[in-house]
Amino acid sequence: MKKAIILIILIPMLIFSAWLFASPYITLKRFGSALERGDADEVSKYVDYQALREDLKKDLKALLAKEVAKEADTEEVGLFALALGSLLIDLFVEMAVSQEGLAYIMEKGRMPTEEVVMQNSEAKEEKPKGMKISTDNTNADTKEELETSASYKGINTFVYRIRDKSSKEGIDLVFERRGLADWKLVGMDFHFKE
For the stretch 19-39, pLDDT in tens is: 999 999 999 999 999 888 878
pLDDT tens per residue across span 82-97: 889 899 999 888 877 8
Among 104, 89, 106, residue whose Cα is nearest residue 53:
89
Residue 127: the pLDDT is 42
Three-state DSSP state, 192 = coil
> Quick check: 137 pLDDT over 90?
no
Looking at the DSSP bridge assignments, the partners of residue 191 are: 170
pLDDT at 66: 86
Q: What is the pLDDT of residue 126?
A: 47
Provide the β-strand partners of residue 152: 158
Measured between alpha carbons, how far is 10 from 174 in angstroms, rounded to an integer? 32
The CB-side HSE value for 7 (13 A sphere, CA atoms) comes to 4
What whole-number distance in Å separates Cα of residue 118 and Cα of residue 190? 23
pLDDT at 35: 82
